[in-house]
Structure 1
Amino acid sequence: MQIAPPKHLSSYIRHFIFLENAGDDCKNLRLFTDGSTGLILSDSQNLYTGVSENPVPSSFFYGQPGKFKDFTAKGSFSMIAVVFQPYFFNILLNISAKEAKDQIISAEDILKSELLPFQESLLAGKNPKVIITELAHFFTKFLSEKISSDHALIKAVQQLMLKHKGSVSSKELEQFTGYSERHLERKFENYIGLTPKKYGSIIRLHHFINLMKKSNESESIAGLSYDAGYTDQSHLIKDFKSYIGLTPKQYQKTENKLAVNFIELRK
């Protein structure tokens, strides 16, 4: 279940996601980059990551994923994901997005016990929509009304890149911002954790995924990749494997797409 945030939070939170598993079976989940960071709240400690299945905190923030990250959920669980706009991680936690890239950070290490009531509500089986409404109130109260000029700039550049489906040249960004390519790169890495070029490639990839979802079976991968702005199909497949760990056809065959950047893998 994916839920949009209140309008006043849409500049900071992309959406909320509720997931649950009522059985005792294991689920293999993959989180891949869509340019966003976020927060995972869970009612259990049955979530593991990596081949060695290292346990992760029941509630944690995740930094900008450089590529995909696999999790194993063992047994029953209820989980809420808060998917941030790329720059909100920096605003909320006052941490360089570049330094937090690919990191999992325990929520208790940053917000102490402030998120504990939401975990307890999940454990008690409270209506997830009510919990998400309460989370929205929490972020509204927590969020400072003072947004720096840098944050406003990064948001404006992000909107420009989204408008053009990621196809914005360095020269165009220089003209739009008045900053040199390297200066803008440093700002982007600090606030989003990626360079503009890398972020643009992720936007383009998700534009292709949206085209693929809307297409019919007669439309070729090659044709859709061209429509998405790729110069050749091999470039698309390289990006797909790098960011998602699958080919476009393997992704198409994935049945349980939980969110735009979250899928269940079948073994």
Structure 2
Amino acid sequence: MQISPPKHLARYIRHYIFLENFQEDIKSLRLFTDGSSGLILSEDMNLYSGISEDRMPVSFFYGTLNGYKDFSSKGKFSLIAVVFQPYFLNILLKTSAKDIRNQIVSVEDVLMNKLEVFQEKLFNKENPLTIIKDLNIFFTHFLSERMHSDHHLITATQQYLLQNKGSVTSKHLQYFTGYSERHLERKFEYHMGMSPKKYGNIIRLHYFLSLMNYGIDDKNMTTLSYEAGYSDQSHLIREFKNNIGLTPKQYLNTENKMAVNFIEL
């Protein structure tokens, strides 16, 4: 179940996702980059890193990803994923987004006292829509207390990249913002955890994913890759594998797409 935030929060939160698993078996899961950071809230989830098999915190923030992360889950769970606009985690944690890129940060380490109530609501099986409504109130109050002078620059540039589906040159960005490429790159790294070029590439990849939803076959793969702004099909496949760990065909054959960037392998 995917729920949009109220209009005044849409600049900071892309959407909420509520997921439940009623089975006891082990699932292999993959979270791949969509340019966002986020928060996973659960009451008691057995989630493990796919590489080290270390147990993940019950609730945690995740920074923007360069590619993808694999996990395994064991047993039943319910969770709420709060998918942030990339720069919102920087506002929440008051730290450089570059320093937490590809990182998992336990909620206990930063905002436990403020978010524990939502974990308890999940544990008590309260209506997820009610919990999300309360989260909207929490984030609204939080934002009223802390903002940064660079916020308007970052959000305006992000919207410019989104409107152009990621296909924006550095010269276009310099003209749009009035800042040099290096200055803008430093600002993006601090607030969003990635360069404007990297974020543009992610937007372009997800635009291609949206085109795939209308159906694709061998004959029109090349046509859609050009429409999404790729110079050739090999360029598309390389970007796909770097960011998702699959080829486009393998992605299409993945049956359980739990969210726009969260799949069961």
Name the counterpart of 2:70: 70
Q: Mapping of 1:6-45 within 5 angstroms?
A: 6-45=6-45
In 2, Cα distance between equivalents of 1:134 and 1:26: 31
SS in 1 for 2:147: coil
Unaligned 5+ residue runs, structure 2?
Answer: none
8 Å CA contact 2:68, 2:244 repeated in 1:
yes
Query: What does residue 198 of structure 2 align with?
Result: 198
Scaled by the length of structure 1, the TM-score of the pair is: 0.96
Contact between 1:64 and 1:101, CA under 8 Å: does it hold in 2?
yes
Quick check: 2:161–2:167 contact (8 Å CA) kept in 1? Answer: yes
Q: What RMSD over aligned residues (CA atoms) do the two structures have, in Å? A: 1.3
1:65-111 C-alpha deviation (Å, 9 max, x unpaired): 11100111100000110000011111111110000001100011111
TM superposition shift of 1:218: 7.2
3-state DSSP of counterpart to 1:18: strand
Is the Cα contact below 8 Å between 1:42 and 1:119 reproduced in 2?
yes
Taking structure 1 as reference, are residues 142 and 49 closer, same or farther at Cα in structure 2, changes over 3 Å only?
same
Tell me, in whole angstroms, the C-alpha distance in 2 between the residues paired with 1:251 and 1:44.
30
Structure 2 partner of 1:176: 176
Counterpart amino acid of residue 203 in structure 2: I
CA contact (8 A) 2:91 2:146 kept: no
Q: What residue in structure 1 maps to residue 238 of structure 2?
A: 238
Counterparts of 1:110-125 in structure 2, within 5 Å, are 110-125=110-125
CA change 1:40–1:146 in 2 (3 A) is closer
Q: In structure 2, do the counterparts of structure 1 residues 114 and 149 end up closer, same or farther at CA, with 3 Å as the change threshold?
A: closer
Q: TM-score, normalised by structure 2?
A: 0.97
| d(CA) in 2 for partners of 1:176, 1:146 | 26
What is the SS of the residue equivalent to 1:54?
coil
| Residue equivalent to 1:147 | 147
Paired residue for 1:3? 3
CA distance in 2, matches of 1:222, 1:132: 41
Q: CA deviation at 1:217?
A: 4.3
Structure 2 match to 1:208: 208
Secondary structure of the residue aligned to 1:231 is: coil
Q: Cα gap change, 1:145/1:8 in structure 2, threshold over 3 Å: closer, same or farther?
A: farther
Query: Deviation at 1:163?
Result: 0.4
Structure 2 residue 254 is the aligned partner of structure 1 residue 259: no
CA distance in 2, matches of 1:179, 1:64: 24
d(CA) in 2 for partners of 1:20, 1:130: 16
Query: Structure 1 residues 115-124 or 201-210, which shifts more?
Result: 115-124
**What is the rounded CA distance, in whole Å, between the counterparts of 2:111 and 2:145 in structure 1?**
19
1:133 maps to amino acid: K
> In structure 1, how many angstroms separate the alpha carbons of the residues matched to 2:224 and 2:95?
38
Partner of 1:223: 223
8 Å CA contact retained: 1:240, 1:246? yes
Describe the SS at the equivalent of 1:149: coil
Name the stretch that deviates more: 108-117 or 144-153. Answer: 144-153
Tell me, in whole angstroms, the C-alpha distance in 2 between the residues paired with 1:68 and 1:14: 19
Shift of 1:38: 0.3
Deviation per CA, 1:92-140: give whole Å up to 9, x if none: 1111000000110001111132111111111111111111111111111
Question: Partners of 2:147 and 2:46 in 1: how far apart?
Answer: 37
- For residues 139-182 of structure 1, give each alpha carbon's deviation from its aligned partner in whole angstroms, at most 9, with x where no partner exists: 11111366333111010000000000001110010011111111
* In 2: Cα distance, 1:201 partner to 1:38 partner: 19
